[in-house]
Structure 1
């Protein structure tokens, strides 16, 4: 789930660019870690309860990535429709305004991804429970209304909370449940730091876009508390993510192998440091990248630690 700001009124006359790079950037690949990291962690955690079903893992992984990619495309489409993107906008989006991809093509592709995700969801339900379908539909509706609908979630102070809850906690619990048929205390607790980190990806985006978002009437968390406090909040949330893992180790929920996540602390520190003193969106792009990389590093290191502890 990725948001952008800035203004435009009409679609510019530009020569369409249909190279593979345009379609790849349309997926906004740096945000896809918010899909595959939780699925991986939930599945590896399930190894503690016995063997895992590889086909279910792959189906869940692909469905989650497709829903995240579709959400990014809805973002692309609705930002264009609301006049928030132009060819000079900073960020990874812009397939419509910079590369000449037709808005309807982006929208149809997003719904197409949803369609494939539904088919994968049917298989997952057949192998587990049909209650998964209800949760899956809620997740897809959230992806659509994140930037669609009369009051997009991304334009409110709840964007980070919603993204963290659904793309962090819910996906981990779903991935764990379809493998084990249950939800454990450890699966709930371990989803908390991942939810924090996914929320931080959204927060970093909103810190970057604060000025433009304010001009366009958005009420994001970054706007409400200001850039300086938003950066402090980003740092605090990073710290809380590591604190949860350390507490789980201290109380015996996780083995010492989970300390591997500490290897990612320099990247988290870098993300915060690169935001400090910056005010131009382009200057803050490295900080946004470092925030997404922190989620990837933390998630994979945690997954490795969990896997080693099961051997």
Structure 2
């Protein structure tokens, strides 16, 4: 039987910056226009975190019942279903519970801004489930990074800014790109770590499709390009350059990836990538909030 600690591990805490950072950046955009709303930002954070934890539980369930994430193959943290710590039905209900929470918070935001958010939220929930769920999961066809960029980059940042400002802004869209790329970096390092086990189980992630060497190049691009884009945005928001404070945090993960670290050796790199993403997000948020 799974313990509370097992369930906490099942949320995959190292991936949670992918949910937090876009909301921070979107709120920074809104603050820069003088339209920051604490309670709307808080609800947007609930939506993002609930979706992230929900997709983690959904992946645990779907991979577990398929047998593609068994304890024998698993390289990363223990999975609840694959390791038989929890019944598949329990993990599936946990995923749906998270999706329900995200929908409830999203409906409140839609009621005070635009009902079009319901459509966007519905697409996000469907994307979360069908990443590894259903008969033809798109995550098994190398499209995971595309979905992450769209939903934990563009939609999350621009959407967070929108619910506070009441309109879309070019800055919200521009700032969403670095956030999306860093979320892709988090997924890429995860899939690079699992490239061997995923290949053996027939899970054709982008890392499996393009191979080890190109996956490492892609990861480096996902990590470093956001700094170049942040510098470009600084022409409009000069204090956006504060995100350069996070640059030293690229050294350890970049060194590990360029040095050929693989398998369990990349578990630490996943955590380092999450910390980099969070540090970048915090500094970038402050910079975007200062209009000067």
Q: TM range, normalised to the smaller chain?
A: over 0.9
For residues 100-134 of structure 1, the C-alpha deviation after alignment (integer angstroms, 9 at most, x for no partner) is 21111110111111112211111111111100000
Structure 2 counterpart of 1:4 = none
Q: Does 1:297 align with 2:267?
A: no
**Aligned in 2, Cα 1:239/1:279: closer, same or farther, shift over 3 Å?**
closer
| Count of residue pairs brought into register by the alignment | 291
Is contact 2:75–2:197 with CA below 8 Å preserved after alignment? no
Aligned equivalents of 2:60 and 2:108: distance in 1?
29
Structure 1 counterpart of 2:70 = 86
Decide which moves more: 135-144 or 118-127: 118-127
For residues 281-305 of structure 1, the C-alpha deviation after alignment (integer angstroms, 9 at most, x for no partner) is 1122122222222211111111122
Give the gaps of 5 or more residues in structure 2: none
Q: Does 1:287 align with 2:269?
A: yes
Q: Which of 121, 126, 134 does residue 119 from structure 2 map onto?
A: 134
For residues 61-80 of structure 1, the C-alpha deviation after alignment (integer angstroms, 9 at most, x for no partner) is 11111111010000000111
Q: Does 1:190 align with 2:172?
A: no
Aligned equivalents of 1:17 and 1:145: distance in 2?
25
Q: State the Cα distance separating 1:218 from its structure 2 match.
A: 2.6
Aligned equivalents of 2:115 and 2:94: distance in 1?
26
Aligned equivalents of 2:232 and 2:219: distance in 1?
20
TM-score normalised per structure 1: 0.88
Is contact 1:36–1:64 with CA below 8 Å preserved after alignment? yes
Task: Let me know the Cα RMSD of the aligned residues.
Answer: 1.7
For residues 256-300 of structure 1, the C-alpha deviation after alignment (integer angstroms, 9 at most, x for no partner) is x22221222222232121123446411221222222222111111
Q: Which of 166, 169, 176 does residue 181 from structure 1 map onto?
A: 166
Aligned equivalents of 1:161 and 1:78: distance in 2?
20
If each structure's helix is expressed as a fraction of its own residues, which one has the higher value?
Answer: 2
Match of 2:28, SS state, is: helix
Q: State the Cα distance separating 1:99 from its structure 2 match.
A: 6.2
Q: Does 1:104 align with 2:86?
A: no
Q: State the Cα distance separating 1:189 from its structure 2 match.
A: 0.8
Q: Does 1:118 align with 2:103?
A: yes
Structure 2 counterpart of 1:170 = 155
